[in-house]
Amino acid sequence: MIRKTRKIRKLRGSRTVAGGSSKKRRGAGHRGGRGNAGLHKSKWTWVVKYDPKHFGKYGFKRPPRSILRFNPVNIDYLDEKSEELVEQGLAQKKNNTIEIDITDLGYNKVLGKGKVNRPLIIKSPKFSSSAIQKIEEAGGEVIIL
């Protein structure tokens, strides 16, 4: 049956508002405490059945300084910006090649997206295989730091 009005409107003015004895529903006593209270005592069977790993420690977190985070750069960006980097003093021009140390730019890996149009000598701790191939095909050189 659909109610026209909420049940609580009918119960206003009654002493217990359909809560049984007037002593019930006062604090959180009838439910054994609020939230996770009593998980080691009155609610222990619930813990064993539904959340057995609630207590204790499991595994460990690696110290953040021990995690190597990659900050990659694509070769098309290096090829495009190589002249600007020479002007800014972040790269050196030797004969017809440009030597770039990407650690000076804040990167630590070179990826192979894009094309290389000029010979570049790139120094980096890590390279993708496609980046090595494209740099060497353009007449450049890869130096792993």
> How far apart are alpha carbons 14 and 81 in whole angstroms?
80
- pLDDT tens sequence across 4-26: 888 899 999 999 888 888 887 88
pLDDT for the residue 21 = 85
Calpha distance 74→65 (Å, rounded): 25
- CATH numbers and ranges of domains, the chain: 23-59 (no CATH), 72-144 (3.100.10.10)
Going residue by residue through the chain, which has 145 residues, state the pLDDT in tens, using 9 for 90 and above: 787 888 899 999 999 888 888 887 888 887 889 999 999 999 999 999 999 999 999 899 999 999 888 899 999 988 888 888 888 888 888 888 888 888 888 888 999 898 888 888 999 999 999 999 998 888 888 888 8
For 85, other C-beta atoms within 10 Å of its C-beta total 20
